[in-house]
Structures are given as C-alpha cells and as structure tokens.
Amino acid sequence: MRVVDSHLHLWDPSVLSYPWLTGELDARFAAEELAAETALDAADQTAVFVQADPVAEQAMDEVRWVDSLARAAGVVGIVAGARLDSGPALGQHLDALSEFERVVGVRHLLQSEPDGFARTDSFLAGARELARRGLTFDACVRSHQIPDVTALADAVPDLPVVLDHLGKPAIGTASAPLRPSTEWARDLRELAAHPQVHVKLSGLPAEADGVVDGDQVQPFLDIAAEIFGEERLMWGSDWPVSSVRAGGSTGPRYVAGNREAWRRTVRDWAEARGLAIDRVFWSNALAFYGIR
C-alpha cells in the first residue's frame, strides 16, 4: 500500500510561536515524533504539510523550518500560510514562497474569519492571484461556512480548492453519535458541483474528541464518496490535532496510535465500498497538488 498523508501538521514551540496550543499539544511534534506514528504496512509513505497557524509574522519562518526537515519527515509538499486579503503584500509573500520548490499551495484559515469573508473583494483578488501562479487553496471552514467555499469556487473557477476535514460537520461522540445533517449534505453537494474542488477525508476524529470510531464516521464518508466520487477524495491524518482528547481539567491529552487507527478506518471503509485505495491514499493527492 502507498500512502500520501494529505494533511500533516508539524510544529515545535521552541522554534515558533503558536498561541492556540494548549495542554499536551503544546509540545514538539516533528520528524522524530512522526516516525513513531508511521504505517507499518505501507511500502511508500509521504506527506503534504499544512500550515499550523503560528503567529502571522512567522509564516515564512514556518516554511523555512518545515523545508529544513522535509526529508526526515517525508514531506513532499508544503501548503503555506498566507493572508489572501493582504493586497500587494500577498504578491511579495508569494514571491518569497516561490523560492521553495516544495510549496504547492496556500491556506488562509477561514474558520477563524467572519461568515462571508471568502466572498469579499480583497479575498477574491488574492484567490485569483493564487490561480494565476498555479497554486492550490486549502479551505478549512466550519460546516455552516461551506457555502462561502462554494461562492469562492464560483468566483475563481480556475483555482484548485480542497475542502479540509469534510467541512467539519457535527458528528457527535462515539457514545452519542449524530447523523449527517441535511444542511451539511446539501451544502457539500452544491460545493462538489464544481469540478475543481476536492475533499479531504480528515479531521473527523478531532470533531469527536479524538476518538476514532468507524461506525460513527461511515455515514459521513459515504456521503462524501457519493457526492465527490473516488477521483476527488484524499486521505489525511490531521496529525497531531486529531490525535488528542479533551482531557477534562488537565487539557488535551495526546493519544498515540490515533493516526494509524484513522488510516485503517478509512482504508477498511474504502475497501468495503469498492473504492480504488491507491487513488484515495496516493494518486489523488499527488495530482491535486501537482507533485511528481
């Protein structure tokens, strides 16, 4: 089996500043820590790093740091942080990013922005600049913001977009699972009508307090597969974010093995549905990000 992890995070708080880190997440998660979480039955394993949201002024420092350890961590592509609404400064930032051949795309974290932000003129101007430069865009939103991603795809049809974490639907917990909402399925279907949009099978454990439960997530995976088809699905671990549990008063608690448990869960589901495993776990991600 070949595996491209399309959504890998790495960080080291002793190198860069991440104000959002708490509890056991506020620790180093880099090449050495990742080595303990690799798939034993995968002959080839690579990954696409996705920006981990350090303070804004360290966006380029993050790319430099990840690029320096890319070989050790198996990183073949970097999705860098960038503010698409920054006007002329965006062009300068993208010029600097072009010096790194592993940079394949950009993420402006939309889940933290007000609703409708991705429809603003300043943001769309930045999105068009990404498309002009042949870069991709990772859209990380809450489920109610999926229509904003659809509006972006409408406005900039030549920009390849991938929806992170299936749009973060509400899935409940293993003990109290939720069924996919009618609104989420409707919005996902409208987004999938745009052929340049893909979706990542990632992040659902983080929405379920770090618990990997196949029965709980299968209805959501089924809808994604039905709507997007196997040629626009890509697996991602969301490591280490999806490898923590809330931990009550002590804060988040890291759960070793969650990355591999999520891979097996999606693999078993894909096999049971007759999907092409090599597409979902390998070639779709490489093709989307233009990695050869």
Q: Rounded to an integer, what distance in angstroms lies between the CA atom of residue 227 and that of residue 229?
A: 6
- 9: tokens are 């995070």
Q: How high is the pLDDT of residue 185?
A: 98
Region 162-187: what's the mean pLDDT?
A: 96
Q: Rounded to an integer, what distance in angstroms lies between the CA atom of residue 292 and that of residue 250?
A: 44
Q: What is the mean pLDDT of the chain?
A: 96
Q: How high is the pLDDT of residue 39?
A: 72
Q: How high is the pLDDT of residue 77?
A: 98
CA dihedral 50, 168, 157, 100 (to 10 degrees): 0
Q: How high is the pLDDT of residue 249?
A: 61
Domains of the chain: 2-289 (3.20.20.140)
**Sign of the alpha-carbon torsion through 45, 139, 121, 189:** positive
- 182: tokens are 């009618």
Query: In this predicted model, what pLDDT tens digit does every residue of 64-107 receive, in sequence order?
Result: 999 999 999 999 999 999 999 999 999 999 999 999 999 999 99
Query: In this predicted model, what pLDDT tens digit does every residue of 192-251 receive, in sequence order?
Result: 999 999 999 999 999 998 999 999 999 999 999 999 999 999 999 999 999 998 766 666
Q: Rounded to an integer, what distance in angstroms lies between the CA atom of residue 207 and that of residue 20?
A: 17
| pLDDT of residue 54 exceeding 70 | yes
